[in-house]
Amino acid sequence: MRMLNDLYQSQRSMRAMRQAAIQRGVVAILDVGTSKIACLILKFDGRERVTSGEGIGAMAGQTKFRVIGAATTRSRGIELGETCAVQETERAIRTAVQAAQKMANCRVDHVIACLSGGQPRSYGLAGQVNIAGDVVTETDIAHALAACDVPDYGADREILHAQPVNFALDHRSGLIDPRDQIGQRLACDLHMLTVDTPVIENLIYCLRRCDLELAGLALSSYVSGIAALVEDEQELGAACVDMGGGTAGLSIFMKRHMIYADTVRLGGVHVTQDISKGLQIGVAAAERLKTFHGGVVATGMDDREMIEIGGETGDWEHDRRTVSRAELIGIMRPRVEEILEEVRERLDAAGFEHLPSQQIVLTGGASQIPGLDTLAPKILGQQVRIGRPLRVHGLPQAATGTSFASAVGLSLFAAHPQDEFWDFEMPADLGAPRSLRRAMKWFKSNW
Amino acid sequence: MRQMIQFRSKRAKAARPERRDPAPSRLSYKLNRMMLRPWVRRFLRHGLPVLIVVSGVVFWASDQGRRDDAMDRLAEVRRQIEERPEFMVRLMSVEDATPSVASDIREVLSIDFPVSSFDLDLSGLQEAVETLDAVAEASVRIRSGGVLEIEVEERVPSVIWRDEDALVLLDMTGHPVATLEARTTRSDLPLIAGVGADIAVAEALELFEAAEPIRDRLRGFLRVSERRWDVVLDRDQRIMLPEGAAITALEKVMALDRAQNLLERDLSVVDFRNPGRPVLRLGQGAVDLLFDTGFQSE
């Protein structure tokens, strides 16, 4: 019942704020990652840009908005997707937001953010009720959702998502929308996701220091999945692996709902650190080597391709070293393999092999490593592809790569959020004790 | 060695200066966001310049001395422009007016030339000229070369009205034109008399037309009780005309005169006040004669 008491109001107010922001027409998207912070500014002008016609299906809200500002900056003070230096993070957010505002030439007050750290943990909950009337009403759904018994998820954890993923009415399961259907017994499955409270609090604090109101919060691997998975994959079941800088988030989709999410706390930054340590160079130089010459599959050609390491230590000998590309690959590959194996373990733990479809989509910045598409099938299975995010209106070419999957997904999430637990009216009989208690408190404090 | 190290570190510092933090400071971020507010930008674009100019003007004008000084200077500049020779009027020409009327006009206007054309109120001048009785209509304009030109249309006198103490010339509408010293100076015009005669000048003129055959005997027309006319002839003869259709009545009298020499006879009054029942009043001589010739015997 704790979930009802605390989270309900804050999430509902956040949802109301999102509605208000969309009403005003401008909302910012902030992807606070370990290696970069991306800020998109969306303009909702209530205009559908794609007319419905032959061969054009229903749009999931991605035609309602237009990206009018986009900016990326190197992120600071964030490790493993979690803020470890608040002021540094705040500066980085300020840089990104100001640049995006400059491009959009308008001011944003509301921001929808995603976070990749915080050790998300998935819970599958189930609840069932006898419905009051003949047909299922929204109140019945709310009752069924409230009937889910919430496990003890720890003191400093916060619920980030609580989405009803499946409804069953009597013996019929797999209902998407049970409203107005005739039956007696309504059961529901709820997917609940919790993250560490301090991570969220730090992020909110940073945003407040930047004069921004938080209008929505989502897990980055979830929104990457929205952007990178195609409709069929979401429907039939697929896993999206968002290989970011500090973490590799994975989310499993089934019937258009996220049913599981987890993160591996390893990412591109670790690869860079390995190169830095292995070649005795600075992190910036290592990052440069990785992006320009990196790879995971070595060929005979790579033995002969010598790379200048460079450096500015002042030691001539040290700065003039060269390394073959094969050596660089030899440093990078074990770490990438480790990440993928870790992902495989998590997928196995989640029971991914029981899904009808075994599609795995790799996205995120680290999925750009050349050769990953040959390495990944050896570890994750045959159905692996690199997924670029959906194209949305006005997105600059520079922001269409895989590393912007979560930013694009977050804008889709902003335009068309999934029903969550708090979108349903709280049952009155469950809300009553709290208000009664509040009345008592007021009485005591005033008399 | 230590020197070397110091040297190297110095050089390194010189080669790579301290990188500036790319992040905007909190203040500049807030200012930047404030500048992106639409009303702030509108204010800076339009409101602020207007405010600065207005406040400057208000501050300057708050001092009485400065304000007066500026007014004086303005007046001086204005005067200088007005007194340029191009705008000066030196002459007045009165056209289409008899010399007496022209001198009257000059007397009425009494302008001291030269005068600036800015100081001349042309419509006022026109009204002043039109107040003269002799002037029916006047147009006033400034011609190039600094000439004030007044074109006058004079009233044409058509009757003489013998008022209680003076002879007045009236035009066709009954408006006075001028006074007259003696009747004989304008013997061509008919004479009218009586209170309210000036109102019925038009009818008097028509009667004058109709009285063509007896023009040499005609003395004048007398307005009686401000409603009807008497035609006064010599030998104290008088034709009393009705209030309405006076012309017709007079023509009847003329016809009678033509047929029977009515007016040649010794009549004192031909009373046509009631056209259906004209009455003749005999003169004293005729009455005596009538008595003498045995009027009583019949």
Structure confidence at residue B298 (pLDDT): 46
- Quick one: tokens of B165? 């103490």
pLDDT of residue A137: 83
Specify the residue for token string 């992020």: A203
Closest CA to A248 of A150, A415, A362: A362
Residues B226 and B282 in one domain: yes
Enumerate the residues of chain B whose CB falls inside 8 A of the CB of residue A107: 33, 36-37
What CATH number does the domain containing B95 carry? 3.10.20.310
In this structure, is residue A244 part of a structural domain? no
Measured between alpha carbons, how far is A359 from A196 in angstroms, rounded to an integer? 29
b/e burial code for range A21-38 (CB count within 10 A of at least 16 → b): bbeeebbbbbbbbbbbbb
**What is the gyration radius of the CA atoms in chain B, in angstroms?**
46
Any domain includes B221: yes
What per-residue confidence (pLDDT) applies to B82?
84
Q: What is the CATH number of the domain that holds B270?
A: 3.40.50.11690
User: Could you say which of B154, B178, B194 is where a domain stops?
Assistant: B154
Residue A271's pLDDT band (boundaries 50, 70, 90)? very high
- The per-residue pLDDT for A241 is 94
pLDDT of residue B77: 94
A15 touches chain B (CB under 8 A): no
- Asked, for residue B60, whether it belongs to a domain, the answer is no
Residue-wise over B234-271: b if at least 16 C-beta within 10 A, else e? eeebbbbbbeeebbebbeebbebbeeeebbeeebbbbb
Q: Which of A92, A209, A211 sits opposite B23 (nearest CB)?
A: A92
Decide if B36 and A98 are in contact by the 8 Å CB cutoff.
no
A20 contacts: CB under 8 Å, gap ≥ 6: A110, A215
Contact state of B26 with A94 under an 8 Å Cβ cutoff: yes
* Strand order through the sheet with B91-95: B91-95, B147-154, B135-143
Domain stop point among B114, B136, B154: B154
Domain of A288, in residue numbers: 269-333
Q: Where is A201: in which H helix or E strand?
A: helix A197-209
Q: Which of A371, A234, A407 is nearest to A294 (CA)?
A: A371
Q: Could you tell me the pLDDT band of residue B244, with boundaries at 50, 70 and 90? A: confident
What mean pLDDT comes out for the span B214-234? Answer: 85
Looking at the fold, whether B196 and B178 belong to one and the same domain comes out as yes
Tens digit of pLDDT for each residue in B96-126? 778 888 888 888 877 777 788 788 888 888 8
Q: Do residues A31 and A244 lie in contact, with contact meaning Cβ atoms separated by under 8 Å? A: no
Q: Give pLDDT tens digits for A133-180.
A: 888 888 888 888 888 888 888 888 888 888 888 888 888 888 878 888
Residue A436 has what pLDDT? Answer: 67
State how far the Cα of B90 lies from the Cα of B68, in Å rounded to an integer. Answer: 33
A86-104 and B26-35 helices, crossing angle to 10°? 20
Do B119 and B217 share a domain, yes or no? no
Give how far the C-alpha of residue B121 lies from the chain's centroid of Cα atoms, to the nearest Å. Answer: 13
Please give the distance of CA A273 from its chain centroid, rounded to a whole number.
Answer: 24
Q: How confident is the model at residue A429 (pLDDT cuts 50, 70, 90)?
A: low
Q: Based on the structure, what is the number of domains in chain A?
A: 1
Report the residue of chain A nearest B25, measured CA to CA.
Answer: A91
Per the structure, how many domains does chain B have?
Answer: 2
CATH number at residue A277: 3.30.420.40
Q: Are A221 and A242 in contact (CB under 8 A)?
A: yes
| Nearest Cβ partner for A107 among B8, B23, B36 | B36
Give yes or no: residues B179 and B280 share one domain.
yes
Residue A99 resides in a domain = no
Band (pLDDT 50/70/90 cuts) for residue A57 is: low
Q: What share of chain B is helix, strand, coil (3-state, %, to 5)?
A: 50, 20, 30
Q: Which of B154, B189, B208 is the last residue of a domain?
A: B154
- Quote the mean pLDDT of chain A: 86
| Across B53-74, average pLDDT | 93
A154: alpha, beta or left? (left if phi > 0; alpha if psi -120 to 50): left
CA nearest to B154, candidates B98, B205, B110, B108: B98
Q: Are B184 and B237 in a shared domain? A: yes
Q: Are residues B209 and B126 in the same domain?
A: no
Average pLDDT value over all residues in chain B = 82
| Test the A interface: residue of B33, B37, B39 with most A CBs within 10 Å | B33
Position A299 in a domain: yes
Quote the pTM value.
0.67
Residue among A189, A22, A30, A200 at smallest CA distance from A120 = A200
Mean pLDDT of B232-247: 85
pLDDT digits (tens, 9 = 90+) for A93-114: 999 999 999 999 889 999 999 9
B149 assigned to some structural domain: yes
Name the minimum distance, in Å, from the CA of A404 to any CA of chain B: 21
**DSSP per-residue letters across A270-307:** HHHHHHHHHHT--HHHHHHHHHHH--S---HHHHH-EE
Instruction: Name the residue with tokens 């061969």.
Output: A55
Tell me what the mean pLDDT of segment A15-40 comes to.
89
pLDDT of residue A156: 86
Sheet containing A121-130: order of strands = A121-130, A185-196, A157-169, A172-175
pLDDT digits 0-9 by tens, B144-198: 878 888 888 888 888 888 877 788 888 888 788 888 787 788 878 888 888 878 8
**A94 and B8 in contact by Cβ < 8 A?**
no
**In this structure, are residues A223 and A237 in contact, taking their beta carbons and an 8 Å threshold?**
no
At residue B217 the predicted structure's pLDDT band, cuts being 50, 70 and 90, is confident
In a domain, B284, yes or no: yes
Q: With respect to residue A232, please indicate whether it lies within any of the assigned structural domains.
A: no
Separation between Cα atoms, residue B30 and residue B88, nearest integer Å: 66
Residue A294 lies in a domain: yes
The pLDDT assigned to A4 comes to 46
SS3 of B97-152: the string is: CCHHHHHHHHHHHCCCCCEEHHHCCHHHHHHHHHCCCCEEEEEEEEECCCEEEEEE
Q: Is residue B114 reached through a cis peptide bond, with omega within 30 degrees of 0 on the bond before it?
A: yes
Q: Is A59 at the interface with chain B, CB within 8 A? A: no
Does residue B48 fall inside a structural domain? no
In a domain, A329, yes or no: yes
Domain match, B188 and B141 both? no
Instruction: Print the domain residue range for B277.
Output: 159-292
